[in-house]
């Protein structure tokens, strides 16, 4: 029935459709492309997809559904080659939202992360977090104060990776465009750089 309504909508002026019919067409299209939107959001978020992709998709679809109904309908019904116009619109919106520092997604899900150090859940920090004995000196605190100096003494490539990724906050995708090195290789090299940093901090 919904499919028949979609075909009917394509051959009918929007003025001849009720709001309920327009809403049905829009809902049908979102349902139809939803699985592809999940794939697209994961690709856009890349190595952070596990943390960002679901929230990004929800935020963008929610924003779209708060638009004026006629605008939603116009986006859905605009002719488009290849991917449907709604899929193109929502995917482009997701890509912009990840990069924009003023987007609702960035403000709600990413902004607070800029004020915190990144903690890796599978990394053993036990050598650096001080001692159980309160009276002993906390060598981790000393290392934090001198970490930039230690990074400066790393191999030049490892120094570049840590400086760009951690101190300057560059995403792997941006570093990949600059260096022409795949994000997969960069990710592995960053782990190697962290191992060198770990050995120098001891």
For 147-193, the pLDDT digits (tens) are: 777 787 888 888 888 888 877 888 888 888 888 888 888 888 888 88
Q: Does residue 6 have a pLDDT over 90? A: no
Q: Answer whether 0.75 is exceeded by the pTM.
A: no
Residue carrying the six token digits 């290789």: 185
Instruction: Tell me if the domain spanning 139-201 has CATH number 3.30.465.
Output: no
Q: Which helix (H) or strand (E) holds 192?
A: helix 183-201
Give the per-residue pLDDT at 100. Answer: 81
**Alpha-carbon gap, residue 93 to 45, rounded angstroms:** 13
Q: What is the mean pLDDT of residues 74-102?
A: 87
Sequence spans of domains, the chain: 2-115, 139-201
Q: Where residue 26 falls among pLDDT bands split at 50, 70, 90?
A: very high
């Amino acid at each position: 029935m919904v499919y028949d309504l979609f075909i009917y909508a394509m051959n009918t002026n929007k003025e001849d459709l009720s709001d309920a019919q327009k809403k049905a067409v829009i809902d049908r299209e979102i349902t139809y492309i939803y699985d592809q939107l999940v794939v697209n959001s994961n690709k856009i978020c890349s190595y952070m997809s596990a943390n960002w992709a679901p929230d990004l998709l929800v935020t963008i679809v929610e924003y779209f559904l708060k638009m004026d109904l006629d605008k939603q309908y116009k986006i859905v019904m605009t002719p488009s080659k290849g991917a449907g116009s709604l899929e193109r619109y929502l995917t482009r919106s997701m890509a912009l939202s990840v990069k924009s520092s003023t987007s609702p997604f960035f403000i709600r899900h990413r902004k607070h992360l800029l004020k915190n150090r990144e903690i890796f859940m599978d990394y053993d920090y036990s050598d650096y977090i001080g001692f159980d004995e309160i009276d002993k000196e906390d060598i981790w605190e000393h290392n934090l104060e001198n970490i930039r100096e230690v990074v400066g003494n790393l191999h030049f490539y490892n120094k570049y990776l840590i400086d760009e990724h951690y101190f300057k906050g560059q995403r792997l995708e941006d570093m990949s465009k600059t260096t022409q090195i795949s994000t997969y290789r960069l990710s592995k090299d960053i782990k190697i750089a962290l191992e060198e940093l770990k050995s120098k901090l001891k």
